[in-house]
Amino acid sequence: MKNYIKEKLKTISGYNSLVNYILAILREQTRNKEILALEAIRNLSPKNIYAPTTTWSMTAGAINLLLNDVVINNRKMVVEFGPGISTFYIAKLIKKNNLETKYISVESNYEWYRLMLRQLELEEISNYVSLEYVPLLESPFQFKEHNTWYNTEILHKLILSEIDLVIVDAPPGINKYSRFGAIPFIKDMLADDYTILLDDTNRIEEMEIVLEWKSLLKCQVQHFDYFSVLRSGGNFDVTPFSLRHFSK
């Protein structure tokens, strides 16, 4: 019996070592992907300010994909729920490339809205994105524990039709399933050719949202480490070089 237990412990120890080894490889791959993506978007990095990035910031790979999509698929109407580091890069791209792209970014936290507005002004790109404060209310779109979303009465006054790029990085994930309302609200305003990016799909709730959206839209979906992309199917694949082997 003792020998049996010893052999089992050896097996468990070996298994744990293998798991730790695989996790170390995956962490290294993630670091390498981010380094490649950061290099690709370096020329659009903020110059006049320090733009903070935290554990809840969008990855460089996701931003790289968004910038590719704006340019390659000639996006004309971009709607973002949850401004952050991505907002600086997209606004700077519109300015640098002299694009005729309308860009609306919606924020529900007034303090964060004021901070972002000031930062965009200091970076001299506030004219290239319409930053809007829209508070959260009881949601008209029901899905599991989802119960709050943006004030749709205000949104209807801000958002036009023919939206061809949607970025969903809010409301915060502390409100489970809170991001679900984006597509039920916006689906009838989508252009025929569109891309939708939902951040944080490494979380169970966000992955469930993606699958529900896919069912609603009958579209293609592509999963990456920390985000997922839904496409109408008629546009170019804009997967960045840094992520070329890592989509699923």
Instruction: Note the helical H segments in the chain.
Output: 2-40, 60-72, 85-96, 110-122, 152-158, 182-186, 204-217
pLDDT at residue 124, rounded to an integer: 97
- 4 token code pair: 């049996």
Question: Using CA atoms, how far apart are residues 125 and 99, in angstroms rounded to an integer?
Answer: 13
Task: Please tell me the predicted confidence (pLDDT) of residue 142.
Answer: 81
At residue 44, the 3 state secondary structure works out as: helix
For residue 100, what pLDDT is reported? Answer: 97
Q: What is the pLDDT of residue 52?
A: 79
Instruction: State how far the Cα of 62 lies from the Cα of 199, in Å rounded to an integer.
Output: 8
Residue 197: per-residue pLDDT: 99
The answer to whether residues 148 and 178 touch, using CB atoms and an 8 Å cutoff, is yes
| pTM listed for this prediction | 0.86
Single-letter code of the amino acid located at 178: S
Sites in the chain below the pLDDT cut of 70? 1-34, 245-248
| 8 A C-beta contact, residue 175 and residue 150 | no
Question: Which residue reads 């962490």 in tokens?
Answer: 27
Count CA atoms within 13 Å of residue 220 on its CB side. Answer: 12
- The three-state secondary structure class of 178 is coil
Measured over the CA atoms of residue 76, residue 148, residue 62 and residue 120, the dihedral's sign is positive
Query: How does pLDDT run across 185-195, given as a tens digit for each residue?
Result: 999 999 999 99
Q: What domains can be seen in the chain, in order of their start residue?
A: 42-243 (3.40.50.150)
- Per DSSP, 127 falls in state G
Cα separation of 92 and 102, whole Å?
13
pLDDT at residue 23 in the model: 39
